[in-house]
Amino acid sequence: MDLHDVTSAGLLRQRDLLSRGEISATELTAATLDGIERAADLGAFTEVLREAARTEATDRDAVPEVDRGPLHGIPIAIKDEIDVAGTVTGFGTRANSTPVAADAEVVRRLRAAGAIIVGKTTMPEFGQWPFTESSTYGAARNPWDRTRGTGGSSGGSAAAVAAGLVPVAIGGDGGGSIRIPAACCGLFGLKPQRGRVSHHPHPHLWFALGTLGPLTRGVLESAIVYDVIRGNVATDRFRAADSIVSFEHAARTPDTGLRIGYSTKPAVPLLKPDREQVRAVLTTVRLLTDLGHTVFEVDPAYPQVLPAFTPQLAAGVRAEAALVERPGALERRTRQHIRIGAFARKSVVEWAIAHGEKLACKSEQLFTHCDLLLTPTTATRPPRLGALDGVGAFRAQLRSLPMVAYTAPWNVTGNPAASLPAGIGDDGLPLAVQLVAPANDEPTILSVAAQLEQARPHPRPPR
């Protein structure tokens, strides 16, 4: 058995081999760590947990088969903003040096399901930008074309999964930071309903904007991981409506005859999407029609979300920056952004959250006419490396707009939304589309995304 093929085979194949005893957790982990080391130039990891992962794998192999969890022996990487016991939570910086004592709740749940944590992945400082570039760690490179970036901010997680280094990596999404890297790297990335996944030990992630979730190659893999990590603890400020529906079951059960609205209109005025992104939507419209759905063009009538989005972003970055031990080690651009965001006092943020709730009520009117909304994920193609070179905070925000034009509104409203592959563009890079659902309806996204994946298998980068 070629262990390199196994490490890049994906969660379902790895789980099957582990369950049949054809490979041990120790062997799979060793091969995974070797692959990560060989691909160090990809810039996907801030830290590789070699000894801890090997120890964890040995412990997993000692667990009786009857007691093994749904992710037994599966190597998983974690974005650098999420606590992993014994490691430094750097938020994409080197401004911290003290390891944290305990796992974040999402990591605790992964370990309880049998997963093995193999490392922390790169991100821009505090996840501020949809480009995974920093003066500290350099740029995460896109496995499809290493002169291109991965998007952000969960770009290291996306690079690790797309390159086949790990089958699953956890990211965070405060304005598109799961969906944008998924789109750039040809992956599936679902931003769940606000409050679906706990942020403990923190009460929230960028207030009402952020949530955590996996990047995976396939829809079913994502659903399996979500069934493990979803749920809340007492300290969570936001909670999704209780759902007893298995996400895995939803991904395995095709919905038929749905009403699906589509639009290529971005939420940013005067912004024109790349023709390839529009083509991806139109080819998906035809495919959905062939699958038996009723598909029609709609005007989402996007509300002006910046008054709700900007204060929460500014205050969220400022709150995370307050946690670091050496603020002077932060990038100049980050320090500028913190100063610009000084207006976002507590009263302003609470107003922004309340305003976002009003916008969420308005957005639900769209879903009285359709069961899902189909859009591009981004307005532009995967970016070339150096998107942030030499620019300050204001110009970085302007350069971010084409990347977040379709994703950020759904962070403000809290709706579930996913990016899924939609073929290959003329430039040889992945195309992607976004599916958005009414509040708390991740199952419909998973069902339709799985149908699309079966009809149009997700591409993989050339090896």
Which of 28, 107, 112 shows the shortest CA–CA distance to 70?
Answer: 112
263 classed as catalytic: no
* CA 325 – CA 181 distance, rounded (Å): 29
Give the tokens for residue 211: 């949530």
* CA 38 – CA 36 distance, rounded (Å): 6
198 classed as catalytic: no
Of 134, 153, 154, 447, the active-site residue reads 153
Which of 65, 178, 184 shows the shortest CA–CA distance to 428?
Answer: 184
Of 79, 120, 191, 263, the active-site residue reads 79
* CA 175 – CA 131 distance, rounded (Å): 12
Beta strands in 40-187 (DSSP E): 45-48, 75-79, 116-121, 133-134, 138-139, 141-142, 145-149, 168-173
Write phi, then psi, for 260 (nearest 5 degrees): -120, 115
Tokens 């049949």 belong to: 20
8 classed as catalytic: no
Which of 212, 257, 249 shows the shortest CA–CA distance to 106?
Answer: 212
Of 8, 134, 154, 177, the active-site residue reads 177
As to burial, measured by CB atoms within 10 angstroms (0-12 exposed, 13-18 middle, 19+ buried), residue 136 is middle
If DSSP codes are grouped into helix, strand and coil, which group holds residue 39? Answer: coil
Query: Which active-site residues does the annotation give?
Result: 79, 153, 177
